[in-house]
Amino acid sequence: MILNGFNEKDFLENYWQKKPLVIRQGFDEPNWISPDELAGLACEEEVESRIVMQETGAWNVEHGPFPEDRFSTLPKTNWSLLVQGVDQWSPEVADILKSFDFLPAWRLDDIMVSYAPVGGTVSQHYDFFDVFLIQGEGSRTWKIGDVCGSHSECLPDTPLRILKDFESRMEVTLQPGDILYIPAKYAHYGVSVEDSLTYSVGFRAPSICDVVDGVGVECLLEDDRFQDSAQSLQAQRGEIPKSAISHVKDMLLKVMDDEQLISSWLGQYVTDKKYPEFDLPTSAADNCLERLKAGESLMKHPSSRFAYIKQAELAGNESEAFLFADGEKYPAKLALASYISNQYELDSNELVLLLTDVQNQELVTELVVAGNLIFEDDFFADELGEAN
């Protein structure tokens, strides 16, 4: 699915992670979820949601899940409801992602949907995400300011990161179907002109802190420790000599040079579960192949994330890969790993062919046990509260 009037090559060369862009009428019928359905999601325990409001000058954030009657007690204007990860709960919203196929799936964070009556805003801020703001129903006026960073001052004593200073460099009013792309760190805010829905498709990029922290905590052992050299022992007792500094640098360089280790971390990081506290429903895993042969459909759980790394790129092994699923790493045949990671929907016949290989069969069973893959019938039965 291609966005109307959109030139991918021009976008990737000139705008992606560089500067904002307005894409008029990128979508024809942006009615993927109604305000009532969104409010319904915000009442669910597993769903992350917030209501942002300015009351008597002070900014207030209430976190969901909300009791149903919360919505009837809200004022007519000047508030926003924000619901994270709506792509996990609404197949219609998840389908929006197919229009962003020109970007790697593993860079995606989620689709947040916000509803705001007239005047609703979360005020001036910046995100560390690249975001496509798609206007659903209604309209919203966006102002975009300068590039910010850790140095940018925020208002004190607010539960939101609201920028103290904001100078508008660009203003645009989005109508249903319009898209505004804002690169990470650009100051921005939108104000609802009329009751409106905005879909934010967010792409995250790990910071150097995430990398160093993550590699350190998740991949390194405590055993590898600093060792004194004869040279560093000769220094004055209070002096940290250059040779000690070089040794610490060598310890870091050894880690930085270890592509296996860094690839393991990256695969796990980008597929990590967004809400690890919630268990996935599972199918029985003892007869996967028979169920597929009988024509049953296996699906990727909507909240599961998959990515793979070709082993050829690491160890010269053409047909092997590592598959990452919800933060777990599995050695896998490249054919299976790429099929699962690249496809939106899995075809039973294709899977039956892949499962003639015993290693593939074992891996699919493991993924079914973990809940990353689930038979459609079991998934929908669970949604209706019939299973588990």
- Residues lying near Co ion in the complex (CB under 5 A) are found at 127
Binding site for ligand SIN (CB under 6 A): 80, 114, 122, 127, 131, 188, 190, 198, 200
Whole-number minimum distance, CB 90 to ligand SIN, in Å?
Answer: 16
Between 121 and 360, name the residue whose CB sits nearer to ligand SIN. Answer: 121
Between 109 and 127, name the residue whose CB sits nearer to Co ion. Answer: 127
The rounded Cα 122 to chain-centroid distance in angstroms is: 20
Residue the block writes with tokens 């790394």: 309
Residue nearest to ligand SIN (CB): 114
Between 61 and 252, name the residue whose CB sits nearer to Co ion. Answer: 61
122 contact choice in Co ion, ligand SIN, none (CB below 5 to 8 Å, kind-dependent):
ligand SIN
HEC profile for 318-382? Answer: CCEEEEEECCEEEEEEHHHHHHHHHCCCCCHHHHHHHCCCHHHHHHHHHHHHHCCEEEHHHHHHH
Whole-number minimum distance, CB 366 to ligand SIN, in Å?
Answer: 37
Whole-number minimum distance, CB 125 to Co ion, in Å?
Answer: 6
Whole-number minimum distance, CB 340 to ligand SIN, in Å?
Answer: 31
80 contact choice in ligand SIN, Co ion, none (CB below 5 to 8 Å, kind-dependent):
ligand SIN
Whole-number minimum distance, CB 8 to ligand SIN, in Å?
Answer: 23
Ranges of beta strands (E only) in the chain are 21-23, 49-55, 58-63, 79-83, 108-116, 129-135, 140-147, 170-174, 179-182, 186-192, 196-204, 298-300, 306-310, 320-325, 328-333, 373-375
Between 161 and 293, name the residue whose CB sits nearer to ligand SIN. Answer: 161
Distance (Å, rounded) from C-alpha 311 to C-alpha 331?
Answer: 9
Between 38 and 309, name the residue whose CB sits nearer to ligand SIN. Answer: 38
